[in-house]
Structure 1
Amino acid sequence: MTPRTRRDVLRASALAALAVPLAACQSGYSDEPDPLAPLAEQARADADAARAVSGDLAQQVAAARTAHAQAIQAEVDRLNRPKSAVRATTPAETGMAGLRQRLATARKQAENLVATLPRYRAGLAAAVAAGCAGLQQVSDQLGPGEDPGTAATAASRVPDEAIEPLQKALAAEHAAVWVYSLVSAFLPSNFDIGVSDGSAEHQGRRDVCVRMLTAAGATPDAPEPAYLTPKPVTDAASAKTVVAAAEADAAAAWRGVLERTDDAGLRLIALRALLGSARRGTRWRQAAGESPAAVAMPGAQPS
């Protein structure tokens, strides 16, 4: 059997992403203030504060929070709901300590909205939260941030419309488990814990996917015998890059789940998985020497 590529694994998720703007346009107009407006204002304030702090680390925060502000504001402008007074939260600390608190506040602010927003907006808020979670992993000066925990239990039910994206999440988890097994032979012993923890996390997510799909009456897709990696794994450097890519694929798949369901339980599982892959992916990107180490909006489809 021909090994599957990363693009094959997430192709349906990519197609779903194309439909997102259409789904978003179906949202009716509301007279209520836009719940995303505070996130945009907070992101702008955080970016301004980060630009005032010297050093590359602060500028990474500034760049990411600027990207958050632009993405959220574009969605706020699209719906054009009534404007309301919005004030950003300003921590008592300044400098790097202040940026650390700002990231924690912004992440929690975005996470708290995921359960209640329309589908596309839930994915957007989750990506912002994951971007903040990734930044928290770059340095102890910014984090480490709260561990989102693992999806130890399955959602009570899986809506029919979520079965397809959940199968894609399962495919990404199968691939991630395979990748972690592959790279273990190329990494030095000081990476053993990272490989073991990452493998266990993805195995747990895989098993949850299997249980949810089975309970919904669907047949969980089986793993492929092998997967094509973005580049051949020949040494420690290429191994780190491939693991980071597997985490990015998992993040994209779980964001796809968020954007295809209204079920609160399933959204929580998907959010935790997205946050987990953003955090773990940051560490692997950093180990591989990639810059920036933290992706501003985790869950974007791979090119």
Structure 2
Amino acid sequence: MTFRRSVPPNRRAFLRAAALAVPTVVGLGTLAGCTDYDDSPDPLLPLLARARADVEAANAVGGPEAQQVAAVRQAHADTLGKEVRRLNRPRPSQEPRVDAPEAAAGDLAALGRRLEQAQREAVRLVKGLPRHRAGLVGAVAAGCAAARQLGDALGAGQPGPLERVAAGSLDEDAVDALQDALAAEYAAEWVYDTVTAFLSADYEAGLTAGADAHRDRREACRTLLADAGVSPRPSEPAYTTQQQVSDAGSAVQLVVTAETDAAGAWHGVLERTDDARLRDVAVQALIGSATRLTGWRLDAGDEPAVLALPGRG
């Protein structure tokens, strides 16, 4: 009896087979290692549902102020919807829904309460979101607060001083963003001081409140930086304006520019830090500039009077 030896595959065939097998192994390993994907429902969905419901409510209320609120909230719904679609996380079995109860025509107070609820919900979310989303949702909160400045019935009013916090150590990105915010606050202080010579006594209350707010935020920046072991940058020795300030109209426009710049700087802080305490300061400062900005844009006759997403350019 004889035994035939099996013939081993030639070397080229063996290498070819091995080469074909490697991608399969790597591919399986890569798929098995995909554990970072979050398949929970998108946390922006309730905020999106609330924005859509507010559009319906504002349209039901009617009138020029409500129409502007509807435009702001529609912009929020569009932007939030785009972000939700971009991430494309699994949809919950039941989509969140915020009812838009029948609103009486002209009931701006009810509409103002809806804006306040949306603002609070957005502020609550900001602390735990990725950086780019923190900036977006912070701007939504500021837009809701800004829209309320369209009339007393909507709940117009300025936020108080910032709550002092000790953020502790901050990374380089956060420090740079905070230094930028400090620079914007220095400039805003200078603007409020400069324009007083061109504005009548009718503006005195707004000028005083704005100057006090920016001093408060300047000191908040300096404290946060000092607590992080960083020396706050000094103010510029002098400031120049792109357009000469020569009358009340140009003075008001300069304040609009200062508040726009401050809002942009604080929005930048939201997008450049993960520190929850610093984000809380930043979103409150952003809301403050957004509310003042609406008042000054109304005085300037700018349209739209309300920026839907303050700080986002």
- Aligned-pair distance for 1:196? 1.3
Contact 1:92/1:98 (<8 A) preserved: no
Change (3 A) 1:230 1:68: farther
Change (3 A) 1:157 1:92: farther
Q: Percent identity?
A: 51
Change (3 A) 1:37 1:291: same
Q: Which residue of 188, 193, 198 corresponds with 2:210?
A: 198
Say if 2:51 is the partner of 1:39.
no
Corresponding residue for 1:257? 269
Contact 1:115/1:264 (<8 A) preserved: yes
Q: Which residue of 140, 145, 162 corresponds with 1:151?
A: 162
Moved more, 230-239 or 73-82: 230-239
Moved more, 250-259 or 203-212: 203-212
Q: Which residue of 60, 74, 93 corresponds with 1:66?
A: 74
Give the distance between the partners of 1:41 and 1:79, measured in 2 at CA. 17
User: Counterpart of 1:129 in 2: which secondary structure?
Assistant: helix
Corresponding residue for 2:9? none
User: Counterpart of 1:170 in 2: which secondary structure?
Assistant: helix
Change (3 A) 1:279 1:158: farther
Question: Max radius of gyration: which structure?
Answer: 2
CA offsets, 1:179-236, max 9 Å, x none? 0011011110121121111111111111121122122222211111222334221111
User: Counterpart of 1:52 in 2: which secondary structure?
Assistant: helix
Say if 2:175 is the partner of 1:163.
yes
- Aligned-pair distance for 1:252? 0.6
- Aligned-pair distance for 1:93? 4.5
TM-score (normalised: structure 1): 0.85
User: Counterpart of 1:141 in 2: which secondary structure?
Assistant: helix
Give the distance between the partners of 2:87 and 2:170, measured in 1 at CA. 27
Give the distance between the partners of 2:217 and 2:112, measured in 1 at CA. 29
Matches within 5 A, 1:249-288: 249-288=261-300
Corresponding residue for 2:245? 233
Count of residue pairs brought into register by the alignment: 273
Give the distance between the partners of 1:171 and 1:89, measured in 2 at CA. 43
Contact 1:258/1:271 (<8 A) preserved: yes
Give the distance between the partners of 1:264 and 1:225, measured in 2 at CA. 33
Matches within 5 A, 1:29-178: 29-84=37-92, 85-91=95-101, 93-95=103-105, 96-144=108-156, 147-160=158-171, 161-178=173-190
TM-score (normalised: structure 2): 0.83
- Aligned-pair distance for 1:67? 0.6
Change (3 A) 1:126 1:247: same
CA offsets, 1:136-167, max 9 Å, x none? 0111121126x543224243314123100001
Corresponding residue for 2:196? 184
Corresponding residue for 1:21? none
CA offsets, 1:17-69, max 9 Å, x none? xxxxxxxxxxx531110010111121112113323343221111111111101
- Aligned-pair distance for 1:266? 0.6
Contact 1:184/1:195 (<8 A) preserved: yes
Corresponding residue for 2:228? 216
**One-letter amino acid of the counterpart of residue 260, structure 1:** R
Gaps of 5+ in 1: 1-27
